[in-house]
């Protein structure tokens, strides 16, 4: 049989993960409607009892309090979630060589035929793994095991919570795909769903039977790959844990209530965002030379500004000086503002940061072109830049 010579993909998805983590420390809340998200103003995770009451993801806390006063509302404890998540990774690594931590509550893993053989069969392998996880972590996961990532991902959803779904034959796959609505496919979002529905595609099964040629012609390349994956062709590779230092961007955002037009309040939030983003960058020893910031108005429109800075930095002072120049422009929207954010792009590891423009400037300065360069930078980035850059230089 072919399947015995091929790897399978395992997907593990934490059940009500944040709530489940909280319950490990507060078992007395077991069986009660519990949600996490107090500090964010919306429900981020719900226990199944809370879901049963009608609480949905994203529901505002004030509304939950009003409609369902019996719900226990908890703030986030990310350290706890990370701790449990990394223990989960360790357990998976004792069963599988390649484990990909996809998010705090989800993992993919490559399961080799030898591993299955050791336990007897797929079912026994998963039962063993599942038992160990529950015993050690006191939280449950739902599992999908299939030929590809996309199939495993859909499989794990089918019997949530605490489910185990094995797609070991073509028939298993077809049955699962027939049960999966086009609204619930990983990688197909709200822009694409209506377009597919126009083509009479209602289920994942309809999707895999849709003409590949037409898909290629009218939809994106990633959708073509997704279709192949759901047909059983291994396209999306399971990759080992990425180094956090390979991160491409760092952002810090904040919502403040009430929404405001007061530029002082807004600027204070942006400063705080910049500081948080920089703290994060410092921990990862990363620097940036491109930043952006945005405001979100109370009617949920985003306004972005992007700025290149002529050196590599993670100094909030330097960043804020650069942002300050664009600040009046973005304030011109003249609406109430409900949230702000600062994003650091173009991240480099500090130890192999390319020779930054500042160093180049020093060289040029030594050649006697000091004013020319300084003026250029002032013209482009404002007077503050020179000073800040200089003070940064001394610190380094």
Partner DNA sequence: TCTGGGGTCCTAGGACCC
Of 101 and 167, nearer to DNA (C-beta) is 101
Token match 């955002």: residue? 253
Query: Minimal CA–CA distance to 356: which of 327, 318, 384?
Result: 318
Task: Tell me 366's DSSP state.
Answer: I
What whole-number distance in Å separates Cα of residue 5 and Cα of residue 63? 53
Shortest Å, Cβ 276 to DNA: 6
Six token digits for residue 324: 């300050």
Of 47 and 288, nearer to DNA (C-beta) is 288
Of 251 and 260, nearer to DNA (C-beta) is 251
Shortest Å, Cβ 370 to DNA: 26
CA–CA distances in Å: residue 344 to residues 66, 251, 341, 389: 39, 6, 10, 17
Of 61 and 93, nearer to DNA (C-beta) is 61
Of 116 and 281, nearer to DNA (C-beta) is 281
**Interface with DNA (CB under 7 A):** 40-42, 44, 57-58, 60, 62, 102-106, 153, 185-193, 220-222, 246-255, 257-258, 276, 280, 298-300, 304, 306, 308, 338-339, 341
Helix 149-158 / helix 170-179 crossing angle, nearest 10 deg: 60
Of 140 and 339, nearer to DNA (C-beta) is 339
Shortest Å, Cβ 134 to DNA: 20
Shortest Å, Cβ 231 to DNA: 17
Shortest Å, Cβ 253 to DNA: 4
Paired residues of 112 in beta bridges: none
Query: CA 142, 172, 208, 204: dihedral to nearest 10 degrees?
Result: -40
- Judge contact between 288 and 353, C-beta under 8 A: no
Helix 263-284 / helix 316-331 crossing angle, nearest 10 deg: 140
Six token digits for residue 303: 């306004």
Shortest Å, Cβ 380 to DNA: 14
Of 7 and 340, nearer to DNA (C-beta) is 340
What whole-number distance in Å separates Cα of residue 289 and Cα of residue 241? 26
Shortest Å, Cβ 131 to DNA: 24
Shortest Å, Cβ 368 to DNA: 27
Helix 78-93 / helix 17-25 crossing angle, nearest 10 deg: 100
Cα Rg of the chain, angstroms = 25
What whole-number distance in Å separates Cα of residue 284 and Cα of residue 178? 44
Of 240 and 246, nearer to DNA (C-beta) is 246
Query: CA 187, 193, 195, 198: dihedral to nearest 10 degrees?
Result: 140
Of 203 and 247, nearer to DNA (C-beta) is 247
Q: Give the three-class secondary structure for 251.
A: strand
206: phi then psi, degrees, rounded to nearest 5: -60, -40
Shortest Å, Cβ 121 to DNA: 28
């Amino acid at each position: 049989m072919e399947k015995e010579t091929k790897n399978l993909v395992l997907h593990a998805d934490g059940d009500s993960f944040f709530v489940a983590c909280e319950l490990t420390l507060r078992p007395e809340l077991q069986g009660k409607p519990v949600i996490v998200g107090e500090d964010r103003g919306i429900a981020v995770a719900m226990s199944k009892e809370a879901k049963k009451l009608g609480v949905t993801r994203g529901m505002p806390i004030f509304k939950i309090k009003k409609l369902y006063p019996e719900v226990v509302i908890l703030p986030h404890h990310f350290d706890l979630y990370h701790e449990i998540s990394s223990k989960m990774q360790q357990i998976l690594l004792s069963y599988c060589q390649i484990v990909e931590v996809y998010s705090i509550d989800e993992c993919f893993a490559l399961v080799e035929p030898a591993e299955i053989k050791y336990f007897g069969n797929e079912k026994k392998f998963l039962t063993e793994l599942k038992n160990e996880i529950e015993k050690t972590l006191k939280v449950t996961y739902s599992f999908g095991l299939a030929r590809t990532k996309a199939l495993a991902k859909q499989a794990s959803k089918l019997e949530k919570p605490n489910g185990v779904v094995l797609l070991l034959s073509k028939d298993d796959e077809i049955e699962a795909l027939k049960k999966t609505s086009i609204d619930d496919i990983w990688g197909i979002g709200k822009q694409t769903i209506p377009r597919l529905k126009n083509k009479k595609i209602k289920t994942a099964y309809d999707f895999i039977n849709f003409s590949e040629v037409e898909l290629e012609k009218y939809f994106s390349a990633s959708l073509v790959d997704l279709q192949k994956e759901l047909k059983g062709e291994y396209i999306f590779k399971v990759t080992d844990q990425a180094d956090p230092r390979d991160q491409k961007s760092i952002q810090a955002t904040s919502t403040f209530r009430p929404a405001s037009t007061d530029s002082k309040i807004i600027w204070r939030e942006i400063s705080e965002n910049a500081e948080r983003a920089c703290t994060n960058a410092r921990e990862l020893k990363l620097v940036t030379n491109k930043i952006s910031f945005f405001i979100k108005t109370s009617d949920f429109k985003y306004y972005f500004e992007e700025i290149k800075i002529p050196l590599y930095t993670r100094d909030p002072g330097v960043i804020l000086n650069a942002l300050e120049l664009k600040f009046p422009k973005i304030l011109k929207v003249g609406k109430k503002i409900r949230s702000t954010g600062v994003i650091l792009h173009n991240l480099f590891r500090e130890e192999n940061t390319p020779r930054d423009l500042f160093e180049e400037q020093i060289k040029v300065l030594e050649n006697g072109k000091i004013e020319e360069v300084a003026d250029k930078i002032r013209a482009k980035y404002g007077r503050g830049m020179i000073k800040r850059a200089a003070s940064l230089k001394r610190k380094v």
